[in-house]
Amino acid sequence: MRWILLLFEEKGLGDEVDLQVVELSLSQGDCRPWEERERLWFDGWSSVSLLHPFTRFLGDMSDSMANSAQSSFALPNSAPGASAAPMPTPFVQGLSQHIAQQPNQRITFAEFMDWALYQPGGYYSGSPGIGPQGKTAGDFVTSPHLCADFGELLAVQLIDMWERLGQPQPFQIVEMGAGHGLLAVDILRYLSREAPQISLDYKIVERSPLLQRSQHQQLKAGLAPQLLEHIHWHTWEDLSDQSITGCFLSNELVDAFPVHLVEVQGTGSDRQLLELYVQPGSSGFEFIPGELSQSELASYFDRFALPLDAYPEGYRTEINLAGEGWMEQVASKLARGYCLTIDYGYKADRYYQASRRGGTLQCYYQHSYHDDPFINVGQQDITAHVNFTALEQWGEAAGLENLGFTQQGLFLMALGLGDRLQALASDATDIRAVGQMIQRREQLHGLMNPMGLGNFGVLLQAKELSQDELDQPLKGLVVPPWGT
């Protein structure tokens, strides 16, 4: 099993952090306690932590360190600093021709990202690499790839929602961006086994035709025929307004929405916010600054009370305007129920800290990551962290109530992850049984690791709930008492 050894030394409170990344290979039979493997003391470094290299989020050790890691470090096989492939692919040639046909021979980065990910020949229209190495030759993994427990614990929350809504029949679940269908399989298996009294209507909204085919195959292979009858694929257009009573659900969807890139330039009275456009260059694509393409970009920082003069010259970050339209779609289709959003990101005050001067844009290719979107165009994933404050505000404007925001680790613990860990206590002496127990323990810890998936954000919103229903927190938002 490949891991990343992360060594860091904090020089003082609020100071910069020295960081060193080393790739390790650990034996599956390594029987050291998790606590020892999770946090060690090593050769003068203040702390050492083990990270699984396949997650799409490095972690949150400190803001200065997170910024440094996101902007400076790449795992093996990545190529930060490279500008273009020597021989442009037909997809890249087509994108270059499209840009050349525009009035100013340039496009916003949001349009570039949309092309690279979603247009025919782009990343999600080809064979997106979602999955661990050795299985689907993927570029990254998500929580459902670790173990079925993630989907099963989400199903526990869905049962809680169904009961709070008065046990509607059918109970409608809309998964937006379902990947290869693993999460749907795990949720539906658990619900059919533990809550057969619920009449299910499971809908999937998926933009990628290739992923739709993969979902069909995964669901057909993983579910009983009678369950398949309750699954349907939809576009946003064929979902009627006010038609859903249940829950809209997404896991690592919003991070792949196209984002605008902006940069602070000038000093004093000349300080201004410019947009970074993309144009063909002598050796591939390149950035060129220009005026803001949309008025919403100019008012974006004011909306979160973030003064422009607080940022150093050259500060670069992302603005995800697509999230607003997405929140409006969810709110318009939801008659009564919930919206559950899981992704990596921050609230606005942390996302747009002045120390995070390089932004959060990351690219993933064959289980390596870097920050150059102009290499492997159409063959790599491109993501940016999620501004959860923006989703909260846009949701409120569209008619959704904010129920709470927490981290994935705490959310899953409240839903019973701790009980599953405790149940692993065993007196087994058989080496195979011990190895299986250790492997399962690592999988469960991976879901709650605060330096990885456990630090993902979980946002819960609702619509048309009574005051009594709003006053009773959902199960996943109730912090378990210590010692239980």
Distance, CA of 131 to CA of 461 (rounded, Å):
29
For residue 359, report the phi and psi dihedrals to the nearest 5 degrees.
75, -165
CA distance 129 to 230: 28
How far apart CA 91 and CA 122 sit, in angstroms, is 7
| Residue 50: φ, ψ to 5° | -100, 130
- The CA–CA distances, whole Å, from 366 to 129, 262, 428, 456 equal 7, 28, 37, 22
Instruction: For residue 224, count CB atoms less than 10 angstroms from its CB and return exposed for 0-12, middle for 13-18, buried for 19 or more.
Output: exposed
Q: Rounded distance, CA 139 to CA 443, Å?
A: 19
Nearest to 88 by CA among 325, 425, 379: 379
The token pair that represents 342 in the structure block: 């899981």
283 Cα distance to chain centroid: 31
Hunting for tokens 């609230």 — which residue is that? 347
The pTM of this model reads 0.81
Q: What is the pLDDT along the chain (484 residues), one digit of tens a residue?
A: 333 444 333 333 333 344 444 333 333 333 333 333 333 323 333 333 333 333 444 444 344 443 333 333 333 343 443 444 457 899 999 999 999 999 999 999 999 999 999 999 999 887 555 554 433 345 556 777 778 899 999 999 999 999 999 999 999 999 999 999 999 999 999 999 999 999 999 999 999 888 999 999 999 999 999 999 999 999 999 999 999 999 999 999 999 999 999 999 998 888 999 999 999 998 899 999 999 999 999 999 999 999 999 999 999 999 999 999 999 999 999 999 999 999 999 999 999 999 999 999 999 988 788 999 999 999 999 999 999 999 999 999 999 999 999 999 999 999 999 888 888 876 666 788 777 788 888 888 888 888 888 899 999 999 999 999 999 999 999 976 654 4
d(CA 257, CA 479): 31
SS3 letters across the chain: CEEEEEEEEECCCCCCEEEEEEEEECCCCCCCCHHHHHCEEECCEEEEEEECCCCCCCCCCCHHHHHHHHHHCCCCCCCCCCCCCCCCCHHHHHHHHHHHCCCCCCEEHHHHHHHHHHCCCCHHHCCCCECCCCCCCCCECCHHHHCCHHHHHHHHHHHHHHHHCCCCCCEEEEEECCCCCHHHHHHHHHHHHHCCCCCEEEEEECCCHHHHHHHHHHHHHHCCHHHHCCEEEECCCCCCCCCEEEEEEEECCHHHCCCEEEEEECCHHHCEEEEEEEEEECCEEEEEEECCCCHHHHHHHHHCCCCHHHCCCCCEEEECCHHHHHHHHHHHHEEEEEEEEEECEECHHHHCCCCCCCCCCEEEECCEEECCCCCCCCCCEEECCEEHHHHHHHHHHHCCEEEEEEEHHHHHHHCCHHHHHHCCCCCCCCHHHHHHHHHHHHHHHHHHCCCCHHHCEEEEEEECCCHHHHHCCCHHHCCCCCCC
Q: Could you tell me if 319 and 302 are in contact, meaning their C-beta atoms sit under 8 angstroms apart?
A: no
For the chain, the structural domain boundaries read: 2-51, 143-256+324-344+387-477
Query: Where on the phi/psi map is residue 81: left (φ > 0), alpha (ψ -120 to 50), or beta?
Result: left
- Residue the block writes with tokens 């929602």: 161
Instruction: Give me the residues paired with residue 263 across strands.
Output: 274, 316
So what CATH class is 143-256+324-344+387-477? alpha beta
Instruction: Give me the phi and psi of 139, to 5 degrees please.
Output: -105, -20
Q: Check if the beta carbon of residue 240 is closer than 8 Å to that of residue 211.
A: no
